[in-house]
């Protein structure tokens, strides 16, 4: 609860990026050949973002059918709508930490070819890893 209050305070101070539109942030069918920080990538979509290390996302996000050739990370972010990682291929290290997901998160048919690490991440909705493959090591710590 304190984390939400801090994020809301930072949001009102203009430090945390937010999206007001109801359209899905559509990042599907992309091939990323460099390391990706999801909060930074989402905040780069809006030029006036001050803090590139966290995102307060009010609309659905879709990364379905994408390929991440290098490392992928998402940290310190709150997603109020669904996040779609269906059929995504993670070739590099995948890290999720200190995120909060309020709606469904779908990793169905995702492929994790290297280390998959998730820590201190809270899921308030459903999360699905149905038919996903983990070819590297898994490090899951203190998730709810």
Angstrom distance (rounded) from CA 85 to CA 7: 24
Closest CA to 41 of 85, 11, 14, 72: 72
DSSP assignment string, 5-32: HHHHHHHHTT-SEE----S-EE--S-EE
- pLDDT tens, N- to C-terminus, the chain (144 residues): 555 555 444 444 444 444 444 577 888 889 999 998 888 777 766 544 456 677 888 889 999 999 999 999 998 889 999 999 999 999 999 999 999 999 999 999 999 999 999 999 999 999 999 999 999 888 887 676
Helix (H) and strand (E) counts in the chain: 2, 20
Q: What is the pTM of this model?
A: 0.77
Contact 136, 92 (CB under 8 A): no
């Amino acid at each position: 609860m304190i984390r939400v209050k801090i994020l809301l305070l930072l949001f009102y101070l203009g430090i945390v990026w937010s999206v007001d539109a109801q359209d899905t942030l559509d990042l599907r069918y992309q091939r990323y050949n460099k390391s990706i920080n999801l909060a930074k990538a989402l905040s780069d979509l809006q030029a006036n973002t001050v803090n590139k290390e966290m995102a307060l996302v009010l609309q659905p996000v879709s990364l379905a059918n994408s390929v991440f050739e290098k490392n992928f990370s998402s940290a310190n972010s709150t997603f109020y709508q669904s996040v779609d990682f269906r059929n995504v291929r993670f070739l590099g290290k995948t890290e999720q930490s200190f995120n909060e997901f309020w709606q469904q998160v779908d990793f169905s048919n995702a492929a994790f070819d290297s280390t998959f690490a998730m820590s201190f991440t809270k899921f308030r909705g459903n999360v699905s890893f149905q038919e996903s493959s983990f070819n590297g090591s898994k490090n899951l710590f203190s998730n709810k």
